Amino acid sequence: MINSPDAVYIIIPAMKYLNMSWDEIKHTPRREIMGLVAAYNQHELLHAFDGYTDEDISSLSKDKPEVRSSYNKSMSLKAKYESSAGKKRETKKFSSFFRD
């Protein structure tokens, strides 16, 4: 096998995560495989923290601070996709934090 990043970044993820056979990979255009792998990576990033609450993330980030940055990336990407889909996000008013 040649020393190529395609094997690491395209072929192996297509086989491992998308369950594509070698024959399917050879007969699929490179651009299409790259799009599928990129979409899979986006999907994984979007749903990496499904089921976790903000309190869970706070307790996890005490031991591993990088969890907080990954969570923030995931939430910002999710907000971007929701806004482009036209979904309205519920925003809290500043005065709701100071209830008596």
Mind listing the pLDDT tens digit for each residue in 45-59?
Answer: 889 898 888 888 889
Structure confidence at residue 85 as a pLDDT band (50, 70, 90): confident
Asked if residue 16 is part of any domain, the answer here is yes
Q: Which domain holds residue 68?
A: 50-83
Asked if residue 32 is part of any domain, the answer here is yes
Percent of the chain with pLDDT over 90: 21
**What are residue 45's phi and psi, to 5 degrees?**
-65, -40
Number of structural domains, the chain?
2
